[in-house]
Structure 1
Amino acid sequence: MADRKIILGMVLTDGYGNLPGAWRAPHVDPGNYAKVEANIRYAQAAERGGFAFLFTPDFPAVRGDVEHSTISNIMDPLMETAAISQATSNIGFVLTGSTTFQEPFNTARQFKTLDIMSHGRAGWNAVTTSDPAVAANYGKPVADRAERYQRAHESIQIVQSLWGSWQKDAWINDQESGRFIDPSKLQPINLRGEHVASRGPLALPPSEQGQPVIFTSGGPSPHLLALAGRYASGFITEVWTIEEARAQRDALRNAAHEAGRDPDEIKFIVGLMTTVAPTVRDGLDRRIAIAGDVIEARLPHLSAMIGVQIQPQHIDKPLSSEQLAGAHASPMDPRSAIALRVAREGWSPRDVLAHGVIDYHPVTVGPGKVHADHMQEWFEAEAADGFWLAPDVYEDGVDAFVDEVVPILRERGLYPDGYVGSTLRENLGVPDQYGLGAWLS
């Protein structure tokens, strides 16, 4: 595997960024949530950097303090991405779609249409859904885990079978003879499971990559690993340490092997939140200015993580030697060791929090080398095949990463000099597939 290269993706959320308060940054248009033009700009910037894909999570319900915080979704992943696909040429699109509340025929039709529209750049992040707020929007109760995952298995098999129900050479399209389709190569699938069913066929031809790429996302639960091992070519996850990531990646690869697949066919993509700035101090100041009161509100959490009582009036004073001597990382939170390490470097509690030690993913702050070093360490430790980046503020954070970090990765031979091909499969380095996986047929 000497020719391995880092895969980069970028999460696309709300038009603002992934730092609390990004929507209020002075250089950001507060109306971006409703402007697909903004997301087109960010997609084009990521494409300039050779990113393999954009990733859109989806939580189809209102949650949180919406009076002061944004709604952390793009308006509709499929509709916005369809527009973005017409303004880009190479970057792929990994869109989240629920197997719990969406019917397989609709999923198959919508995602394959996007794949055709984008000339082979679509991926489906197939997820189960258990949140009561989402369930309420669909007028259904929350199913138990066993039912959700059984439905997910059935749904993915039906979707992939529908994708293959129009055979590759079914479209004759011969004006002279008058034959449009060979009906023997466009056939129903007639699949029925315990929870979902479809007759088919799907009246859509293959795209340049055949059909969309299957992804899954989440943590290391046995149910999810079994699902990913059988169907997925990409796995998007949240991990905070190299050890945790390597263990999860190994478990994923074992699940693929048990399903009869080559483990290299599944790419393990970990999250990374980025603030690119001339110095670490500049980056921390940027994060403090944008995050505002959120940092101070997190002080009790930091105290619990490192076992030290920190008074609000001391938030800008580094911990004393006595405090550090008594500090210890909480075994209940894998981020605690990171927080303690940063505190021992002499940063104040405010700066420790600005380092992102309570964020959802590891955070890198500072010049390009800081970000490149982090990714190189994880990649060479085989803790990741790639990273899905969450820039602090989209308006300038994407371009900063492309201009300051991507060249370093390329100089080190860690990242492709350009797109390998025009399809998502080519740029991920995953095999061709059409219809249900051969190992499942």
Structure 2
Amino acid sequence: MTHSQMILGMQLGNGYGSQPAAWRAPGVDPSNYTDFDAQVRYAQAAERGKFAFLFLPDFLALSGNLDHEAPQLTLEPMLTLAAIARGTQRIGLVATGSTTFNEPYNLARQFKALDVMSHGRAGWNAVTTSDPASAANFGRQIAARPQRYQRAHETIQIAQALWGSWQPDAWLKDAAAGRFADPGKIQPINLGGEHVASQGPLPIPPSEQGQPVIFSAGGGDYGLELAGRYASAVIGAVFTIEDARAQREAIRDAARRAGRNPEEVKFFAGVMPAIGPTKRAALDRRVALGEQTFPARVPYLGSMLGLDLEVAQLDRPLSPAQLAAVRPSPFDPRSPRALEVAREGWTIREVLAHGVIDYHPTPVGPASVTADHLQEWFEAGAADGFWVSIDVYEDGIDTFVDEVVPLLQERGLFHLDYEGPTLRENLGAPAQYGLDPRLTDPAR
């Protein structure tokens, strides 16, 4: 893998798309929420576009307004990826797994089983959980941040040790001699800390990539330390090139402090493209998807701009007096972009259709606009790659694969084919098996 080419991953959620109203979009089967065949079909489309991985976020409580919005996430990420593993060959399979409400043995077993099943394509996005509703589903309360992250460190280290509890050559498979495995090379780990422990070993030999790749998506000092010590890839949420560069460099610094080569850690910025033959067509697509959600977002847009906006103004632009009174919120990094779009004279509905309240930047227009955005950020050193959130999976994945990917390939920014059969190869992540020997503070 060359350093001059970006890596792409794709967010995969509820079977509809990343926009709340995707379940009602033309051509979408409203039953896709429980249709694993649809998830496999979408994964196959992403694999056709040579995406390095699918990224499945997770949330441990039901949320959202179910009256008119579908839950945003899969029924269960590991079972979803098990289905996808049987219908794909190269694309990586990355699921979120909470270190707060899972024991390390469960996590280690599930992710390594997925890794073996997929022939070395599994990744674990190791996160802590801070949501009280999620805690209530486990009959617990949320612990303080230091305790949650201490448990995360212990959980990851124990999982790594469990993954390595079979030596690479322990599985003999010698039918003639009647020897299945060498018990001397399958050992307990007997590792524990203040919060979690495990005896081991796992009942699972190594996969083609050895063990799953660790991802991270946490923020703040605690999240940086976690990513710097363990992650080979970090899923980011940034809105400007400057913020992305700063976050990427902070992660690389954290890796250096942990005794690692910072090149081992890839930073992925999010993007939520709105693609159409023209900018007007792309906006109209998002306007249709926001029919029910945009009115509720008007007051929030007002708070971003320091204005008292009313729903009655949804189809009018900001007035000259309002533009003169605008004070972008210093607490929301999306505010400058919202103001920039508002000053172009769009109606409030159209401003919202530009994705100014979405979780990641939204390039709007033909495929070249999205390709230009990715190229600008990549060449500015803001990211090693991108995780793409498609608005409506049913047609949006194919549009990205057929229109954006060829542009990136023509520009020499994206590969023509996979580097190899494993996630590690396609990320350029180093080989690892068992607990990282560079860690100087193992779980106690």
Partner residue, 1:172: 172
Contact kept, 8 Å, 1:283 with 1:366, in 2: the verdict is yes
Structure 1 spans left out of the alignment, 5+ residues: none
Whole-Å Cα distance in 1 between the matches of residues 2 and 426 of structure 2?
17
Name the structure 2 match of 1:29. Answer: 29
- Return the TM-score normalized by structure 1: 0.97
Q: What does the per-residue CA deviation read over 1:276-335, in whole Å, with 9 as the maximum and x for residues that have no partner?
A: 210111011111112212112212222222234444443333334444343332212110
**Aligned mates of 1:151, 1:26 — CA distance in 2:** 45
Aligned-residue offset at 1:166? 0.2
Residue in 1 that maps onto 2:437 = 438
Is the CA contact (8 Å cut-off) linking 2:135 and 2:141 kept in structure 1? yes
- CA deviation vs aligned residue, 1:53-86 (integer Å, no higher than 9, x gap): 1111111211221222111211111111111111
Matched residues in 2 for 1:74 and 1:284: separation?
Answer: 27
2:218/2:224 contact within 8 Å kept: no
* Distance in 1 (alpha carbons) for counterparts of 2:427 and 2:307: 44
Q: Which runs of 5+ in 2 are unaligned?
A: none
Q: Is the 8 A contact 2:85 2:117 kept in 1?
A: yes
For 2:95 and 2:310, how far apart are their aligned partners in 1?
43
Indicate the residue corresponding to 1:368 in structure 2: 367
| Distance in structure 2 (CA, Å) of the matches to 1:320 and 1:139 | 51
Matched with 1:237 is 236
| Match of residue 72 from structure 1 | 72
2:301 counterpart letter in structure 1: L
Q: Which amino acid aligns with 2:90?
A: N
Pairing 1:385–2:368 present: no
Kindly provide the CA deviation profile for residues 83-134 of structure 1, in whole angstroms up to 9, marking residues without a partner as x: 1111000000110111111111111111001000000000000111121111
Q: Distance in 2 between matches of 1:72 and 1:267?
A: 26
- Tell me if structure 1 keeps the 8 A contact 2:241–2:380: yes
Letter in 1 for 2:232: S
Q: Which amino acid aligns with 1:83?
A: A
Q: Structure 2 CA distance, aligned partners of 1:253 and 1:275?
A: 31
In structure 2, the residue matched to 1:146 is 146
CA distance in 1, matches of 2:341, 2:29: 33
CA distance in 1, matches of 2:374, 2:43: 21
Aligned twin of 2:185: 185
SS at match of 2:425: helix
User: How far is the alpha carbon of 1:411 from its aligned partner?
Assistant: 0.8
**Residue number in structure 2 paired with 1:410:** 409
- Please provide the CA RMSD for this pair: 1.4
| CA distance in 1: counterparts of 2:314 and 2:145, whole angstroms | 43
User: Residue deviations 1:368-426, cap 9 Å, x none?
Assistant: 11101111111111111111111110100000000110001111111111111110000
Tell me if 1:213 matches 2:210: no
- 1:280 matches 2:279: yes
SS at match of 2:28: coil
Give TM-score scaled by structure 2 length: 0.96
Asked if 2 retains the 8 angstrom alpha-carbon contact of 1:218 and 1:238, the reply is no
- 3-state DSSP of counterpart to 2:166: coil
SS of alignment partner, residue 87 of structure 2: coil
Structure 1 pair 140/311, CA: closer, same or farther in 2 (3 Å)?
closer
Output the CA distance in 2 between the equivalents of 1:76 and 1:223. 27
Q: One-letter code of the match for 1:198?
A: S
Q: Is the contact made by 1:170 and 1:185 (CA closer than 8 Å) also made in structure 2?
A: yes
**1:34–1:249: structure 2 CA closer, same or farther, 3 Å change rule?**
same
Would you say 1:158 and 2:121 are equivalent positions?
Answer: no
SS of the aligned residue for 1:369 comes to: helix
The 3 A distance-change label for structure 1 pair 353 and 114 is same
**Does 2:343 align with 1:351?**
no
The DSSP-based 3-state class of the residue aligned with 1:363 is coil
Report the secondary structure of 2:54's partner residue. strand
Residue 9 of structure 2: aligned partner: 9
- CA distance, structure 1, for counterparts of residue 300 and residue 71 of structure 2: 24
**Structure 1 stretch displaced more, 340-349 or 203-212:** 340-349
Moved over 6 A (4+): none
SS of match in other structure, 2:108:
helix
Note the alpha carbon deviations across 1:224-270, whole angstroms, 9 max, x for none: 10011001101112111111111111111100000000111011111
Q: Does the 8 Å contact 2:294/2:349 carry over to 1?
A: yes
Give 1:84's aligned residue: 84
For 1:317 and 1:99, the matched residues in 2 are separated by 47
- Structure 2 Cα separation of the partners of residues 293 and 106 of structure 1: 40
Structure 1 counterpart of 2:251, one-letter code: L
- Looking at structure 1, the residues matched to 49 and 165 of structure 2 have their Cα atoms a distance apart, in angstroms, of 36
Which deviates the most, 307-316 or 404-413? Answer: 307-316
Question: What is the CA–CA distance in structure 2 between the aligned matches of 1:430 and 1:15, rounded to whole Å?
Answer: 29
The equivalent residue for 1:422 is 421
**Identity of counterpart residues, as a percentage?**
62
Per-residue CA distance 1:331-355 (angstroms, 9 max, x = gap): 1211010011111222222111100
Mapped to 2, the partners of 1:3 and 1:268 lie a distance apart of: 13
Give, in whole Å, the separation in 2 of the partners of 1:34 and 1:404: 29
Please give the secondary structure, in 2, of the residue aligned with 1:271: strand
Tell me the CA shift for residue 183 of structure 1.
Answer: 1.5
What is the alpha-carbon distance in structure 1 between the residues aligned to residue 254 and residue 224 of structure 2? Answer: 6
In the other structure, the counterpart of 2:133 is 133
Residue identity opposite 1:55 in structure 2: F
Tell me if the contact between 2:21 and 2:289 (Cα under 8 Å) persists in the aligned partners. yes
Matched length: 440
Write the mapping of 1:38-117 to structure 2, written as runs, cut at 5 A.
38-117=38-117
For the residue of structure 2 that corresponds to 1:439, the secondary structure is coil
Superposed CA offset, 1:157-195 (max 9, x none): 000001001000111111111121111111111101111
Deviations 1:198-243 (A, max 9, x none): 1111121110100000011132x11110011001101112111111
Aligned AA (2:216): T
